[in-house]
Structure 1
């Protein structure tokens, strides 16, 4: 039985709550621990006879196989735009109780793709001379620990800051274990690691950290005097026409939504869509969007004309070879400023991935912004959680990138 129709703040029924809390805690812990590791993702060199892009029928077959995989997602939806042409591929279900298929207007948790949104806010403020990539935490957020003061906005956006990850802090995880729906003060999430030094000298290495994008959002608020949620609306949602994208604080999802599941055979899929409060991830992973809206965003973020100045776009695309998103995207990954480069057998796209209990996301576009792809499954996977499933998902994602890039 799915967890739903409970008054916000009301306890989860005991017969489901204990199992849900245990599973969610373990998955969040696994994802958080994975995020602190320097990740180099390589792909074997392709033979000269590169396989051709799959046909439409071949793409559908790949999705059908994915939802039939043991421990795989109950549903998947991919939305591909090539110029003015839009194609939608789907398999399985958005809701195991009703059996309805995923839709492009279904709300869903976009997980760490939210980091691209905080990057978009920051870089658009750079273009407006409100922020500079070399601004430091000490200059903009002097109340944060002195040990962090030399970290720059550039280093936060490229995950080379050395900030300890709040989502791995024992006190943070203890609160989630006791109450997954706990309402955090999102602007105080860095308090969980405020007593810690940097993990390494700023700029000396890459380490994916959820703390980075919390600090980015706080810097944006500090220089504008406006709440991050308002900045998202002004600088991202409204210019791109994103009418179904939001950053909630509670655990509820807007209706209709793509249900997220814990899939642990032989048990049936467990609906965990509304088990966690978004307040505990905020600018690092709390945004809710739809395939339609997410596709429009990633098209602009990857290369859409007018969204960023040429100078800022060039800074965004200064990549660290081998620095992977979490989870890794298709092909060979490299990290830029809140964006990743994915070199596949068929060509290169730019975007972001994310995973959250119940969801795994991939969103990418071409450098000219004319082609874009979103690929969403309703279960979580990462390099430490179902790595075999992740390998299969990445392979299917690469097939879709090849189809996206074909003429």
Structure 2
């Protein structure tokens, strides 16, 4: 049974919305866990235990039992044909149901890896080139942005101003969190602004980058981005429960995401915001099971050839938002996480009610999907974020030690 019900949804404040859309990462905290451990779920949740599982289980139990922690955590570790599912807390405070690998969730900025997958697949097909510039593919965008290339968008060295920081955009979301945006016009909010720096000169994470990536893919193929996802990513990797919605509704069953600003009175905010306002930058809904399939194929290079893979893995200094486990460096639509036990490739993300990590070994044979049902934000609680990263690193180490 859940420890306490969630209070009714209320409007998010401007500071909380700013934090949410910037994809920084806010603290985790807790309720007494209503359900913990690797309790039985559906067939997709079937797990074979590992030697490290009791230790890892205690760590995620602690995450959901500390004051202010997330109501739920689920982690899926897979190596070849072996799958381990660890979970703590609940997926829904109203029912006390345990998290499951087939539950839908907002994947936040890990959606940027999907736009990377689409763009790099088109590069592999010869439809796009990494040196294609905005002035060539998207001439309607400001001329001052024209020299920005696809490569710079994918590794966040473009200098594009971030539309999610724009005062007008934030005012619209604050007034009506479920406002339906024209996703293909999101960059209009910053169209009157210059580049923040000379393209390619430094790294700066920006939600605008992946909106531009999706628009470039649409321009060159004359195909909606949602359809490109299906043809170039979902179908080849066997994703059955992944979609890019425009509204705020979540498909059932789903992991409920919570605002834990007041730990004594958690608020269910799973459906508080419209996905249309983040689109290719963070609007995708998926499941832990599908994200496991995705990151194994994406990190392992299953969607394109070795020449594209080499370009994708030209690493530069830069961290994902929030930072992933270990040392972070940025590639094209992917990050390298160098832990004390070895390297994995993937992406992180956060959105109101959710924080995500997906990672896999460079050959794609071992993977970790780690999801919590509260946003983790470094600007709000950096110490708690560091504790989360330490737990994630321990999970990576267990993954890398697991026999294939």
Is the pair's TM-score, using the shorter chain for normalization, greater than 0.5?
Answer: yes
**Which residue does 2:392 correspond to in 1?**
397
Give the alignment of 1:351-370 within 5 angstroms.
351-370=346-365
Secondary structure of 2:393 counterpart: helix
- SS at the partner of 1:243? coil
Give a deviation string over 1:17-76, Cα, whole Å, max 9, x none. Answer: 5xx3134x43231244575xxxxxxxxxxxxxxxxx972100111110010122110000
Structure 2 unaligned regions, length at least 5: 25-49
For residue 11 of structure 2, what is the aligned residue in structure 1? Answer: 21
Shift of 1:122: 0.1
- Say which of 307, 325, 335 aligns to 1:311: 307
Name the structure 2 match of 1:45: none
| Partner in structure 2 of residue 191 of structure 1 | 188
Q: Please name the residue that 2:331 is paired with.
A: 336
> Could you say what secondary structure the match of 1:211 adopts?
helix
Work out the CA distance in 2 between the residues paired with 1:344 and 1:287: 28
Q: Offset at 1:387?
A: 1.7
Aligned residues: 374
1:257 aligns with 254
Tell me the equivalent position of 2:145: 148
Does the CA-based 8 Å contact 2:76-2:84 persist in structure 1? yes
Partner SS, residue 388 of structure 2 = helix
Q: Which residue of 1 aligns with 2:277?
A: 280
**Match of residue 165, structure 1, among 127, 150, 162:** 162
2:369 equivalent to 1:374: yes
The answer to whether the 8 A contact 1:34-1:384 is kept is no
Contact 1:28–1:356, Cα closer than 8 Å, also in 2: no
CA contact (8 A) 2:91 2:256 kept: yes
Where 1:333 maps in the other structure, the secondary structure is strand
> What RMSD over aligned residues (CA atoms) do the two structures have, in Å?
1.6
> Where does residue 30 of structure 1 map in the other structure?
19
Q: Is this contact kept in 1: 2:355–2:373, CA < 8 A?
A: yes
Counterpart Cα distance in 1 of 2:57 and 2:159: 42
Matches within 5 A, 1:37-76: 55-76=52-73
Q: 2:289 aligns with which of 283, 288, 292?
A: 292
Q: Cα gap change, 1:34/1:97 in structure 2, threshold over 3 Å: closer, same or farther?
A: closer
Select the residue among 136, 142, 156 that pairs with 2:133: 136
Gap runs ≥5 in structure 1: 4-15, 36-52
Q: Structure 1 pair 56/91, CA: closer, same or farther in 2 (3 Å)?
A: same
Q: Secondary structure at the match of 1:144?
A: coil
What is the CA–CA distance in structure 1 between the aligned matches of 2:217 and 2:120, rounded to whole Å? 10
Match of 1:202 among 199, 202, 210: 199
Q: In 2, distance between residues paired with 1:299 and 1:266?
A: 36
In 2 relative to 1, CA 360–266 (structure 1 residues): closer, same or farther, beyond 3 Å? closer
Deviation at 1:155, TM superposition (A): 0.1
Deviations 1:99-146 (A, max 9, x none): 001000000000000000000000000000000000000000000000
